[in-house]
Structure 1
Amino acid sequence: MNEIKTIAVIGAGTMGNGIAHVAARSGYEVLLCDVTQNLLDLGLATIEKNLGREVAKNKITQQQADEARARIVPTADRASLSRCDFLIEAATERFQVKRELFQDLDRILRPEVILATNTSSISITKLAAQTSRPQQVIGMHFFNPVPVMQLIEVIRGLQTSQQTFEAVRSVAIQLGKTPVEVNDAAGFISNRVLMPLINEAIFAVMENVATAEAVDKIFQLGMAHPMGPLTLADFIGLDVCLDIMRVLEEGTGDPKYRPCPLLVRMVDAGWLGRKSGRGFYWYS
């Protein structure tokens, strides 16, 4: 395995720009790739704002922030990623999108390069099978907000080699994160446990057991959660929660993962949470 100096990140959205930020701050050169210049500009603006916030909190100096920003090279040309030493994919949470990406990246990247995916629920084993390097495909599930959250779920597919796992574990530590090993199963650990909790909280609201505010207050005051499950669902995005519940239901074949009808209706209405201005709460 060659030394990793340049990390490519696919997707400049919430997760992708957070991963690029942390990688650049940790000394890696970063190739940040998305499909349009506009998406790249939005991602870079978020990175600059978040670096500025770290300077204001005295976590890093202005010079360190400037150096980190200078290490990020935006590109809308996927072929330019051929020079990277390691790749983290943080594109849309849909298998068809990731399959097309992985097949293309497999063709573009050098044979020894690891393909890591930030998927929160899609099978690593299934993604790996789309490539000619299944032993070098692995899950690196970061948590939002990436610059703040400590955990990375490192998910082995059936074909993932020990060498790949060790390399990814080393990168995670270099990024200042704590890697926790998980085997490939629908939803891994985080979403296998969290999403049914959120789904059940939505059932409680739909069945008029309690208001969203009451459900959240019970979890904050009674279980010491920093935010209640419905506030968290709005933060994650209700469309993302629905996608993950469907992956769990399909992946396990177990009806206990059936998405709550209220969740489906809210997503149909475009009430996606914080990002759309309305979910279980209103956001200005």
Structure 2
Amino acid sequence: MQMNTIKKIAVVGSGAMGSQIAMVCALGGYSVVLYDIESKSLDKAKQSLQGHMNRRIQKGRVREEEVSEAFSNILFTEDLDELKDVDFVIEAIVEKLEVKRELFKRLDEITPKHAILATNSSTIVSSKLADATNRPEKVCNVHFFNPVLVMELVEIVSGSHTSEETAQIAVEVVKSIQKIPVLLKKEISGFVANRILAKLMDEAVFLLENGYASHEEIDLVCTKALNHPIGPFALMDLTGIDVNYFVRMQRYEESGNEADMPAKIVQEKVRKGELGRKTGKGFYTYEQSSVEV
């Protein structure tokens, strides 16, 4: 299989990550299928993307004609059979292993035998999904960062099951959509960025829960003293506090180590439904749930 055979990309899951992955692929000239099980999610994705792209047009970051062409390249669908002729799949659904395994089993049945099946997860390594398919050599992680329209880096992880051809095609696809790929040649949960970020998050939560400083003050220190573009609590609100929760639960289920469980304050936020920007409240309160990019 050659890079030039990749013409059609499917993205499964139309949340903030999936919808923006679909858009950057469409802007890169690919024919894109954005699939979700719920029409409401697809409608919300289309509306959100239109808002994001309108703002980018106004700021001169992209031309109106480019955006119009990109939207014409995206098929928003609830019909999984629309994936029957795709060349590359990027899964971006909930961080639950069994749900992903069931999806990869279905994708293996529906998509052409040459299609690469990638997961956007940075927690669930692709070796946990590959054996749900009959093409383990074509399974890998392709991890984008939120917000996808802005963040340049993409982590690609090649497991022991992943062929060198698959890894190299993934690298070339990422380059073709104007992103910067980093290829990890063996698996480790969290990859590079999130392993480093997790240590920062743990310390930030420790300082908050033990009353050393408020979440606003901790974020201020990170942005003004460490020169981070965003503080850890604002970042959790941006990516979704529930995402942090599911990631930590997955890690705990794998290790059995109590220290890997979500922080108490994160568990409390999830129970209350205070998931960050998408719900209008997390560590901070927001007037609107959309994130300007």
TM-score in same-fold range (> 0.5):
yes
| Percent pairwise identity | 39
| Residue 255 (structure 1) shift | 4.9
What's 1:96 paired with?
98
Give the Cα separation in 1 of the matches to 2:109 and 2:222.
Answer: 47
Query: Unpaired runs of 5+ in structure 1?
Result: none
Distance 1:51 1:274 in 2: 19
Q: Does 1:36 align with 2:38?
A: yes
What residue number does 2:171 align with?
169
**2:10 touches 2:89 (CA, 8 Å); kept in 1?**
yes
CA distance in 2, matches of 1:247, 1:165: 25
**Residues 51-130 of structure 1: matches in 2 within 5 Å?**
51-130=53-132
Q: Measure, in 2, the Cα distance between the counterparts of 1:199 and 1:279.
A: 17
Report the count of equivalent residues: 284
Aligned equivalents of 1:166, 1:177: Cα separation in 2: 14
1:145 alignment partner in structure 2 = 147
Are 1:186 and 1:252, in contact at CA under 8 Å, matched by a contact in 2?
Answer: no
Q: Which whole-Å CA distance do the structure 1 matches of 2:54 and 2:217 have between them?
A: 36
Q: What amino acid maps onto 1:69 in structure 2?
A: F
1:209 Cα offset (Å): 1.0
Say which is worse superposed, 246-255 or 66-75, in terms of deviation. Answer: 246-255
Query: Which whole-Å CA distance do the structure 1 matches of 2:178 and 2:148 have between them?
Result: 11
Q: Which residue of structure 1 aligns with residue 286 of structure 2?
A: 283
Q: CA shift at 1:94, angstroms? A: 1.0
> In the alignment, residue 241 of structure 1 is paired with which amino acid?
N
RMSD: 1.5
Unaligned runs of 5+ in 2: 288-293
> Aligned partners of 2:107, 2:272: CA distance in 1, in Å?
35
Does the CA contact (< 8 Å) of 1:186 and 1:251 recur in 2? no
Please give the per-residue CA displacement for 1:71-128, whole angstroms capped at 9, x wherever unaligned.
1111111012101111111111111111110000000011111001111211211111
Alignment partner, residue 272 of structure 1: 275
Kindly state the Cα deviation for residue 248 of structure 1 after the two structures are TM-superposed.
Answer: 2.8
| Alignment partners' CA distance in 2, 1:214 and 1:114 | 44
Structure 2 residue 3 is matched with structure 1 residue 10: no
Question: Is the CA contact (8 Å cut-off) linking 1:116 and 1:140 kept in structure 2?
Answer: yes
Q: Distance in 1 between matches of 2:117 and 2:85?
A: 14
Match of 1:263 in 2: 266
> Relative to structure 2, which stretch is displaced further, 67-76 or 241-250?
241-250
**Shift of residue 251 of structure 1?**
3.4
